[in-house]
A and B are shown apart, each in its own frame.
Chain A
Amino acid sequence: MAQVKVYSTPTCPYCIRAKKYLSDKGIAFENIDVSADEEALKQMVDVSGQMGVPVLVIDGDVIVGFDQSRIDQKLGF
């Protein structure tokens, strides 16, 4: 099972879609709300080098934005 982290904010439509997409595919993930956790925001900026959400980390690989084809590729769909 892939280790999946989603850095997101509660309002961001692409975050909502990314999380829904993972749920629909039956993928368990850790959701990190960076609007509520400044340390997590710093961590997200460190791993992705930018501030846009969502950021997905799948088995250590960083995907910026809701990039469905890259998510599919990483998860083997």
Chain B
Amino acid sequence: MLDLVIIGAGPAGITAAIYAARKKIDFILVSKDLGGQTALSADVENYTGYQFIAGPDLVAKFEEHMRQFAITFHNGEAVTRIVQKPGSGFVVESGKNSYACRSVLIASGRRPRWLGVPGEEKYRNKGVSYCATCDGPLFSKKTVAVIGGGNSALDAALQMIAIAEKVYLVDINPALGGDEVMRRKVETSPKVEVLNNAKTLAITGERFVKAMKIDVSGQARELAVSGIFVEIGSTPNSDIADFVDRNASGEIVVDCLNRTSARGVFAAGDVTTVPEKQIIVAAGEGAKAVLGVSRYLVQEK
């Protein structure tokens, strides 16, 4: 039986793996991908030691650091479920494998939130995207919509101003949020039309997206667009552990030692209730969690 299974290889999981290797804990790292949301961040300017680094480059640095240790890393393997075995630890299941272990560290992060409207799933990757950095350049000189009103929506809108012919910014709130500097850039661009109090109702098309139906302050409207970027925040990947306490938005409740409500199950990073979803905070939480796991394993022996 393993001492520990770490789930997720973003900043929290990778840092946890480095600490666990140095503590000589018998563990494995299991993740659906490497880098998590950091791998999709364009520019990182607040990770200590780097004045400026692109997200994928920071992930490469993390990986390089981690690979200095002989770590068993099951990449491309998404954990589907954690099962409690009263009196004998846990089994972490991935569909491909199952791993018996004495403790679990959940660092599974977050994923983009979906709108939940008709057409969204059908047209995913057929005009509907959750990553302007990835798919934005495909909509050169086209008309697109960005849905959302926070910083990530403003960031996507700014990226699309440089690429698209016209950008609708569809915001459900009465006024845009986010940083004022970015907001002003978006609002003063002649390419952008901001629609406030605008609720997205449906996405339509044929083989690819052609339009979206919205409700603007009670008035129905249809926007002819070929691309739709959904930037309405994110949701924690906490479904794998339905037996631990979670808050209303699905975040795993942890105490200051990263312990969850289930003994032997720890959590770290953006999947938890710890405020401020930042790369450096997640990395620090991953370190802290493994030191807690280490103490737990010693006590339990």
Contacts and interface: CB of A to CB of B under 8 A. Distances in A.
B75 A68 contact: yes
B242 interface: no
A71 to B, nearest CB: 9
Interface in A19-77: 20, 34-35, 38, 41, 45, 49-53, 64, 67-69
A53 B136 contact: no
Contacts of B127: 51
B40 A13 contact: yes
Contacts, number: 65
B134 A35 contact: no
Nearest to B131: A12
Most chain A CB within 10 A, of B35, B76, B138, is at: B138
B50 to A, nearest CB: 16
| B: interface residue count bin | 20 to 34
Contact of B55 (A13, A34, A45, A68): A13
A68 B137 CA distance: 23
Contact of B56 (A10, A17, A51): A17
B25 interface: no
Nearest to B96: A69
A11 B133 contact: yes
Given A12-B133, A13-B56, A51-B208, A35 B138 contact: yes
Interface residues of A, number: 24
A3 B145 CA distance: 37
Given A17-B39, A68-B75, A10 B137 contact: yes
Contacts of A35: 137-138, 140
Contact of B125 (A10, A14, A52): A52
A11 B137 contact: yes
Interface string B121-140: 00001110101011111101
A9 B40 CA distance: 14
Contact of A51 (B35, B55, B125): B125
A16 interface: yes
Given A68-B76, A69-B76, A11 B39 contact: no
A50 B126 contact: yes
Given A14-B39, A50-B126, A67-B76, A9 B56 contact: no
Given A49-B126, A69-B77, 20 more contacts: A9-B134, A9-B135, A9-B136, A10-B137, A11-B42, A11-B137, A12-B134, A14-B40, A15-B134, A17-B34, A34-B138, A35-B137, A38-B140, A41-B138, A45-B208, A51-B127, A52-B134, A53-B134, A67-B76, A68-B75
Interface of A: 9-17, 20, 34-35, 38, 41, 45, 49-53, 64, 67-69
Interface of B: 34-35, 39-42, 55-56, 60, 75-77, 125-127, 129, 131, 133-138, 140, 207-208
